[in-house]
């Protein structure tokens, strides 16, 4: 089973579990409206990120807060949340947030 199929299966399982308990399900929303992203770049290779990092000295081990601060300061940045699969055999894990360029 490929990564996309494993992720979709995992999200369907969580969606069904949460709906049975009457809880809201962001997993269902991801299944219905989510988009795949595959790729990665070194953040400091992006000029705006490197400049911001030098000016603001982000705190270590505070990724979500740093991403939030960067997105407030950089109008072209986009804050996103979602799931990630880190390795070919790994289980999906939730990410609290990250920042990406919109263009």
Nearest one of 17, 10, 70, 62 to 34, comparing CA atoms:
10
- Count Cβ atoms below 10 Å from residue 90 Cβ, excluding itself: 11
**pLDDT at position 17 over 70:** yes
- What pLDDT, on the 0 to 100 scale, is given for residue 103? 46
Please state the pTM of the whole predicted model.
0.51
Of the CA atoms within 13 Å of residue 22, those in its CB half-sphere come to 0
Do residues 78 and 71 make contact, with C-beta atoms less than 8 angstroms apart? yes
Rounded mean pLDDT of 47-63? Answer: 86
Least confident of 6-10, 17-21, 80-84: 80-84
């Amino acid at each position: 089973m490929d990564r996309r199929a494993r992720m979709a299966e995992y999200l369907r399982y969580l969606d069904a579990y949460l709906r049975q308990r009457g809880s809201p399900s962001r997993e269902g929303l991801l299944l219905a409206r989510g988009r795949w992203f595959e790729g990665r770049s070194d953040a400091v290779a992006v000029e705006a990120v490197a400049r911001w990092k030098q000016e603001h000295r982000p705190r270590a081990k505070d990724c979500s807060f740093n991403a939030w601060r960067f997105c407030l300061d950089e109008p072209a940045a986009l804050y996103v949340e979602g799931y990630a699969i880190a390795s070919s055999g790994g289980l999906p894990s939730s990410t609290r947030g990250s920042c990406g360029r919109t263009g």
